[in-house]
Amino acid sequence: MCTKKDDVEKIVDIIRDAGGKLVGRTRLQKTACLLELAGQGEGFHFDYHHYGPYSEELAHAAVLASAMNRIHEEEHRAEWGGRYSVYTSSEHNATSASEPVRGALIHKAATANAITLELATTAAYLAHEGEDDPWGETARRKPDKAEDGRLENAKQLYQELRGIAPGLPEI
């Protein structure tokens, strides 16, 4: 008998597949979005927000999973004054051997530079939504983040992600 996973279980699976630890709410959002775009996702719906693709249901599921003690969210103060979260799960079994693409994609996203990941995922999302020039539109929407070679780094990261998951949009 096959049962549908609830959103809490989906969050636990993402953090588990990241090796039991994922740093940053934005990284969690972008990792889950990449999984959806690659056809390896959990069924979360994404819309465009300030930091790029964002899922309200994913954010709610993370709060609920933490409240249920399925994951632990610890907030830290960044050097620049902002705050970030570190998500951990004691359920950090290895990714199923039947899901090597998913595991490799999550690992790459979990270890990538956060801004580079944000830019790459934003471009992929915009391409998926039909944007003719997703990299140009990403640079237009995120001019401060797309400077100093970061957009080129994002393009390189995205090619690496597509090498792992060819189902990602071609851009």
pTM: 0.90
Distance CA 79, CA 76 (A): 10
| Residues of the domain holding 79 | 7-164
DSSP E strand stretches across the chain: 21-23, 47-49, 52-54, 72-77, 83-88
Long-range contacts of 65-69 (CB under 8 A, 24+ apart): 65/7, 65/8, 65/11, 65/12, 68/8
| pLDDT of the residue at 97 | 46
End-to-end CA distance of the chain: 40
Query: For 103-155, what is each residue's pLDDT tens digit?
Result: 999 999 999 999 999 999 999 999 999 999 999 999 999 999 999 999 999 99
41 domain-assigned: yes
Query: For 34-87, what is each residue's pLDDT tens digit?
Result: 999 999 998 999 999 988 999 999 999 999 999 999 999 999 887 877 888 999
Kindly report the number of other CB atoms within 10 A of residue 14's CB atom.
28
39 domain-assigned: yes
72 domain-assigned: yes
2 domain-assigned: no
Half-sphere exposure of 38 (CA within 13 A, CB side): 25
138 domain-assigned: yes
Counting the structural domains of the chain, the total is 1
